[in-house]
Amino acid sequence: MFQNPEIDLTLLPRAEDLEWQGLHAAFKKRLRVHMAIVIAIVAVAFAVPSFIPGVPIPVILSLWASLAIVTTLTMIWPALAVPRRGYAVRDKDIVFRKGILWRSVTAIPFNRIQHVETSSDPLDRKFDLATLQLFTAGGSGGDLKIDGLGKDVAEQLRAFILEKVGAIVENA
């Protein structure tokens, strides 16, 4: 029987009033450790001109001062950015939000997902974290990437999404 019910726009499920799931608590620390390693390498590189005689002192000072500023910012940044990130899994799609200055909310319907990938680099493994990547068709920009999930959570999400995608394929 053909049906064509009228849709009340105000009653459509809103991808807004959701219970956002935060990222893993260790993610902030992981980001900071990562940045600390990078900064340590830069600091070693900066140390070289500091010990060469003849390099003007203002130059050396400004080098270290800028490094200090960058260090402070990168240590503060995770505390601001990580709480802003979150995801919400609904019956038919997954919604991800992020951003401090540019805030964005991205939604991917399960019936458009081509494949799912989880990965963890050595630092992730140290903190028991994983990254979940969702791929849709088309070459338009990167697909949805959620990093800083607990390893178990990422696995669960992957299994759940694959099950959803599979169920859709079977029904079609």
Partner 1 sequence: MLKTPETGTWRRTSPFAILFFIGRILRLIAKNAWQSLAPLFALLVTYQGDLVSKLILGASAFAIVVTVGSVLSYWFFRFQLLDDSILIRQGVIKKKQLDIKFDRIQGINTQQNIIYRYLGLVTVTFDTAGSAGSEGNLPAVTREFAGSLRTRISGNGAAEEADESADVPQSDALVHLGWRDMVRIGLADRRALLIFAVAGPLLERLEDDAERVIADAVAMAAGYGLEIDTSSGVWIGVSAVLILIVVLVLLSVAAAFLRFHDYQLFLDQRSLRSVGGLLTRHEHTMDLGKIQTLRLQQGIVQRWLGRFRMTARQAMSKGGAEAKKRYFDIPVVTAELADQLRRQLLAPEAGILTQDPRSNQFAAVSPYYMRSRILFVGVLPALLATTFFSLEIGLYGLSFLLWLPIVAAVAYRSWRRAGYLHDDNEIVRRSGLLGYRTVALLFRKVQRVSVTQSRYQRRKNLASLRMYMASGSVRIPYISHETAKQLRDYILYKVESSDKAWH
Nearer to partner 1 by Cβ, of 7 and 57: the residue is: 7
Among 101, 122, 169, 170, binds partner 1 (CB under 8 A): 101
Calculate the dihedral angle through the C-alpha atoms of 147, 150, 154, 156, rounding to the nearest 10 degrees: -160
Q: Which amino acid is at 162?
A: L
Neighbour tally for 147: CB within 10 Å: 20
Q: Can you tell me the distance from the alpha carbon of 143 to that of 156, in angstroms, rounded to the nearest whole number?
A: 20
Instruction: State which amino acid sits at residue 82.
Output: V
Query: Does the footprint of partner 1 cover residue 169 (CB under 8 A)?
Result: no
Shortest spacing between CB 97 and partner 1, in angstroms = 9
For partner 1, the binding residue among 1, 2, 3, 9 (CB under 8 A) is: 9
Q: Of 39, 70, 105, 116, which one interacts with partner 1 (CB under 8 A)? A: 105
Q: Which is nearer to partner 1, 57 or 91 (CB)?
A: 91
Evaluate whether 130 touches 149 at the Cβ level (below 8 Å): yes
With binding defined as CB under 8 A, does residue 7 bind partner 1?
A: yes
Residues 99, 125, 126, 128: which binds partner 1 (CB under 8 A)? 99
Number of residues in contact with partner 1 under rule CB under 8 A: 32
Q: How distant is the alpha carbon of residue 75 from its chain centre?
A: 17
* Site pattern 128..157 for partner 1 (x: CB under 8 A): --------xxxxxx-xx-------------
Closest CA to 61 of 49, 45, 75: 49
Q: Tell me if 92 contacts partner 1 by CB under 8 A.
A: yes
CB 163 within 8 A of CB 42: no
E strand or H helix at 1: none
Residues in the site for partner 1, rule: CB under 8 A? 7, 9, 12-16, 92-93, 99, 101-112, 136-141, 143-144, 171-172
